[in-house]
Amino acid sequence: MSVEMERFEPSRTVERNLGMELVRVTEAAALSAGRWMGRGNKEMVDQAAVDAMRHAVDGVDMHGVVVIGEGEKDEAPMLYVGEEIGNGNKPEVDVAVDPVDGTRLLALGSPGALAVIATAGRGSMYSAPPGVYYMNKIAVGPAFKNVIDINAPVAVNLDRIARVRNAHIDDITVAVLDRPRHQELIQEIRTAGARIRLITDGDVAAAIQAAMEDYRGLDVLMGTGGAPEAVLAAAALKCLGGEIQTKIWPRTEEERERFKADGIDLERVFRIDDLVSSNDVSFAATGITTGEMLDGVQYYGWGARTSSIMMRSHSGTVRYIQARHKWRKGVVQE
């Protein structure tokens, strides 16, 4: 994949890049959680990643407040919603974290688990009301951002995407989480004639892949997934110039009635600027298990190798970072 590079002018002041510091945070989470790959213990997977991420984020030069995290303060000891993180210096930012996007993937040793973090200007990230866990989503890249409509029929969205691509609907590939709730959606996509890639977990990665102009494996993400993941995906797509539209999705009729009683508008469409309004967004992710976007952690006697992606909305820069971590200096590498 190609990497868009910033145009460097000698006279221009080089700006501090918070994203580079965030990569160290996701690397730490990936290196720690990766030890639990395939061992079947989701709790230890999550704990290892949270512990490492929380320790690493203390050194980041920012005054961050967790908006998307591990839960409320009384349920999670670290990276809880509302927790202040970083070393307290500027910038003042909202922080969204997913220490392991794809906890089950990692516990089973399956591909595609990531450690993810994003920041944006203070007060700019959407925080779902209490009890809201899921959103219906459609996510695309820059070419299709002005043609999708989450309220339109599936076939209409696919036809619009195909027309922009100067392609046929059967050239289009749709990512959908493999869940029973998506049976009707899957049938609509099949009826329209598009191709489907069913994913077991990790719709943040799928949204990113759908938005990458130099990646033609996916064209669009559709379906219902986690509300926190929608905000993380929006942060990444803000950097890539893509679009995501979402609507709050109640799991049951009882939940629907409760949301209505709480004044939650289930017909409201949240677009990318509703989820992340800032234009100064940084996003970082490190592969834990090898997937299509990033390689997983590789361990050696002397250390480990990691593969990460870092993005900034301010410049549109996307960096792929291959890192070598040595436990001890002077050890001969394989």
Q: Are 139 and 77 in contact (CB under 8 A)?
A: no
| Domain boundary assignment for the chain | 18-123+280-326, 134-275
- For residue 66, the cross-strand partners are 95
Token reading at 272: 């990318």
Q: Annotation-wise, does 101 bind a ligand?
A: yes
Q: Are 126 and 246 in contact (CB under 8 A)?
A: no
Q: Which fold has domain 18-123+280-326?
A: Fructose-1,6-Bisphosphatase; Chain A, domain 1 (3.30.540)
Distance, in Å, from the CA atom of 211 to the CA atom of 122, rounded to the nearest integer, reads 25
Q: Kindly report the pTM of this predicted structure.
A: 0.90
Q: Annotation-wise, does 300 bind a ligand?
A: no
Q: What is the mean pLDDT of each run of 10 residues along the chain (334 residues)?
A: 45 61 97 97 95 95 94 70 94 96 94 96 94 96 96 98 96 97 98 96 92 86 96 97 98 96 96 97 97 95 96 92 86 52
Domain 134-275 sits in CATH at: 3.40.190.90
Of 92, 84, 81, the closest CA to residue 58 belongs to 84
DSSP string for residues in 201-256: S-HHHHHHHHH-TT--S-SEEEEEEEHHHHHHHHHHHHHHT-EEEEEE--SSHHHH
pLDDT at 314: 87
Q: Annotation-wise, does 130 bind a ligand?
A: no
Q: Annotation-wise, does 263 bind a ligand?
A: no
Q: Annotation-wise, does 24 bind a ligand?
A: no
Task: Indicate the pairing of strand 303-312 with strand 298-299.
Answer: antiparallel
Task: Indicate the pairing of strand 220-226 with strand 173-177.
Answer: parallel
pLDDT at 13: 41
Q: Annotation-wise, does 98 bind a ligand?
A: yes
pLDDT at 4: 46
pLDDT at 291: 92
pLDDT at 75: 59
Q: Are 230 and 258 in contact (CB under 8 A)?
A: no
Q: Annotation-wise, does 46 bind a ligand?
A: yes
Q: Annotation-wise, does 179 bind a ligand?
A: yes
- Phi, psi (deg, nearest 5) at residue 54: -65, -40
Give the number of other Cβ atoms within 10 Å of residue 146's Cβ: 10
Q: Annotation-wise, does 219 bind a ligand?
A: no
Q: Annotation-wise, does 69 bind a ligand?
A: no
